[in-house]
Amino acid sequence: MYAIVDIETTGGFSSGNRIIEVAVVLYDGDSICDTYQTLINPQRNLPGFITGLTGINEDMLSNAPVFNDIAQRLYGMLKDKVFVAHNVNFDLNFIKEEFIKVGIAYNPSKLCTVRLSRKIFPGHRSYSLGAICGVRGIKIDGRHRAMGDAHATALLFGQLLKNDPEQNILASLKNKGAEMSLPPNISKDIYQNIPEGTGVYYFHDAKGQVIYVGKANNIKKRFKGHFVGKSKIALRTEIHDVSFELTGNEFLALLLETLEIKRLWPKYNRSLKVKSNGWGIFLYEDQNGYQRMTVSKVNGKQVPICTFSSHSEAWHFLMDQVKNHSLCPKLCGIQKAKGACFGLEGAPCNGACMGAELPESYNARIQQFLDKVRMDGSRILIKEKGRDQSEEVALLFENGILSAFGFVDREHQVEGDITNQLKAVKPVMETKHLLRSYLEKAKKDNIYLLPS
């Protein structure tokens, strides 16, 4: 037995929104056996755009039952049935959330009529309920109302059952793997074509426009991770295709992700859309001859050692350097103790804050830190692992910013003319921060200083 379900809600995400109407059509594979429909008081304000879409207003909901009042009856209709809906994860996530609030665990088998329609009725431009019902001759009485959409979905599902000689529906019920968690507009062929290598991936909407850029050590695994659990419904429904570019190593993937976000400005990428290098680490010498550091805003009056997009980023970077080079947290401005500092976990101070370590000894470690940080101001070439055993990636940085990169033959010797083989890229300041982090951990044998 199948339970074809449709709901109307206060918004597009199950977290923080509520159901305002639910309809269930019980279908035995041949005919409709029973139906159920009710408005539900969401116990919260109803956005105006929802009223505009559905025609449901707050007056209609004021005397409607709350979900707890109808939960047992609804559960009785859904129990032991296959849950069917158009874009099933949307409806099911809301239903499950509501059941959880009243103490009912609900985890049914499910079928998605969007996904099944793509397989059984291929070749259509759109698989929205209105579009696919239109081409299949199914009239929807009451679009964007729960029973109107549920009844149309039941008729569509009946056609799917009768036009499925390859038993796609049976295969979907048996499949507990990755395909069942995929977005409705991503076919099995698209998913299977996603590689498991390291690189950058792009999500495209129905018009082919890039709406998200990400990087991963395993692109296929990361793709699945986007759509496990309470993933964003908007992204799930908007994605229609996936493309990718393998890089062979994580460093280039990080760099390329940054470049592409700045170039494309995808709607679902937010973290790199802020242009800012307003914070820096500054160096000065105190009256006792000790080199000190502090995190402060860049004001143009002093030249910082290095810059950052936020105070937090600069602060955590400096804390790492205190640990890596056994520096004094008090002399680095991390602690403001009146007497001796109290060190950091795993990096005890050698006593510079109390004069127990001479300035010459302490400042030598400061210089080691400066030499490494200032290396990102040189013209350097970095060679990293390529996409296969025959190649390497060459990355050219000038003034600490990525200026060109390319894949070169592993046997090619590092010479001045190797830079002529690389593809120039538009300078992006954020690549300087990535280089700085890389240099802190990198081996020296793959970094080459070039003439300026």
DSSP structure string for 78-124: HTTSEEEETTHHHHHHHHHHHHHHTT------EEEHHHHHHHHSTT-
C-alpha–C-alpha distance, residues 134 and 377, integer Å = 62
Alpha helices in 188-291 (DSSP H): 188-192, 219-226, 233-238, 250-264
**pLDDT in the model for residue 261:** 93
**pLDDT in the model for residue 271:** 57
Is 2-176 CATH 3.30.420.10? yes
Dihedral pair phi/psi, residue 354, rounded to 5°: -115, 10
- Please calculate the CA angle 341-342-347 and round it to the nearest 5 degrees: 105
Strand extents, DSSP E, 386-425: 391-398, 401-409, 423-424
**pLDDT in the model for residue 170:** 87
Q: Is the pTM of this model over 0.85?
A: no
Class of domain 188-264: alpha beta
**pLDDT in the model for residue 82:** 93
Positions in the chain whose pLDDT score sits under 50: 177-180, 275
Tokens (6 digits) for 257? 């992700």
Task: Map residue 436 onto helix, strand or coil.
Answer: helix
Residue ranges matching CATH 3.30.420.10 in the chain: 2-176
**pLDDT in the model for residue 71:** 93
- C-beta of residue 33 within 8 angstroms of C-beta of residue 155: no
**pLDDT in the model for residue 178:** 47
CA atoms within 13 A of residue 56's CA, in its CB half-sphere:
27
Exposed / middle / buried, residue 213 (Cβ in 10 Å: 0-12, 13-18, 19+): buried
- Residues 280-329 pLDDT 10s: 899 999 999 999 999 998 877 787 888 777 788 788 888 888 888 889 99
Residue ranges matching CATH 3.40.1440.10 in the chain: 188-264
Dihedral pair phi/psi, residue 377, rounded to 5°: -95, -5
What is each CA distance from 320 to 175, 181, 190, 314, 315, in whole angstroms? Answer: 47, 39, 42, 10, 9
